[in-house]
Amino acid sequence: MNTVPTFILADNQDITRAGLQAYISALFPTADVTNAADKKRLVPLLTTAPDSVVVLDYTLYDLKGVEEFLIIVRRFPSVRWVLFSNELSEDFIRTLSAEEHISMVLKENTGEEIRSALLCSARWERFLCHQITNLLVSRSHAAPLFSSLTPTEQEILRQIALGKTVKEIAAERVSSIHTVITHKKNIFRKLEVNNIYEATKYALRAGLIEMAEYYI
């Protein structure tokens, strides 16, 4: 398709929108660019511009999860998506890897890769930045260790990664604080981590929680 699409910036950071606006204006001087600060504003724009390119910061947007996002993707099959975030979990990336209309690029990427993502989406081509491509073609290093956790340990790791204290976890599980502390020690030993920060990073990489949950 040779026509210039409408670009919708679904990003809540002013500096990011300004940077994207500059890139788009340089690449497509005649393109219409509009903002959608939340889902309530995004859906009507997609209805009026069904062939648009949406640049979405998934991790900071008001989507409840990947399932809700995919519902919108299915509802508007002619829309092309550029997921543009600081970090996306491996589980999330692999879930969306089969979606041909979804490109993925990280905010830490070079200007060249960001421009390539915009150009490819405008041409109905998919673009994946080099970090995401490498992740998809390589085996996850997190999987072997994660598989050693019991279902109870996986759930407690999830609660730890969401910022809950040992006391709060024990209360929710109707368990003793000592039992939760023992589980926590076993989790750290199996994952070969030393603190909550490292455990949280592991939970994100393993897809146990999504960045959207982490920032709530």
Encode pLDDT of 150-188 as tens digits.
889 989 998 998 889 999 999 999 889 999 999 999 999
Domain that holds residue 61: 7-137
For residues 19 and 114, state if they share a domain: yes
For residues 30 and 110, state if they share a domain: yes
What's the confidence (pLDDT) of residue 79? 96
The encoded tokens of residue 181 equal: 């502390």
Report the domain count for the chain: 2
What's the confidence (pLDDT) of residue 210? 58
Predicted model pTM = 0.64
- What is the distance between the alpha carbons of residues 72 and 153, in angstroms, rounded to a whole number? 34
Indicate the residue among 106, 137, 168 that finishes a domain: 137
In this structure, what is the dihedral angle of CA atoms 192, 193, 194, 195, given to the nearest 10 degrees?
-160
- Give the relative orientation of helices 196-205 and 151-161 as an angle to the nearest 10 degrees: 110
- In the structure, how many helices (H) and strands (E) does the chain have? 12, 5
CATH code for position 164 = 1.10.10.10
Cα–Cα distances in angstroms (integers) from residue 92 to residues 46, 108, 132, 208, in the given order: 23, 18, 11, 10
pLDDT, one tens digit per residue, over 106-115 is 999 999 999 9
What's the confidence (pLDDT) of residue 12? 86
What's the confidence (pLDDT) of residue 70? 92
Indicate the residue among 137, 169, 198 that finishes a domain: 137
Q: How much is the average pLDDT of 1-23?
A: 89
- Has residue 2 been placed in a domain? no
What's the confidence (pLDDT) of residue 34? 96
For residues 152 and 53, state if they share a domain: no
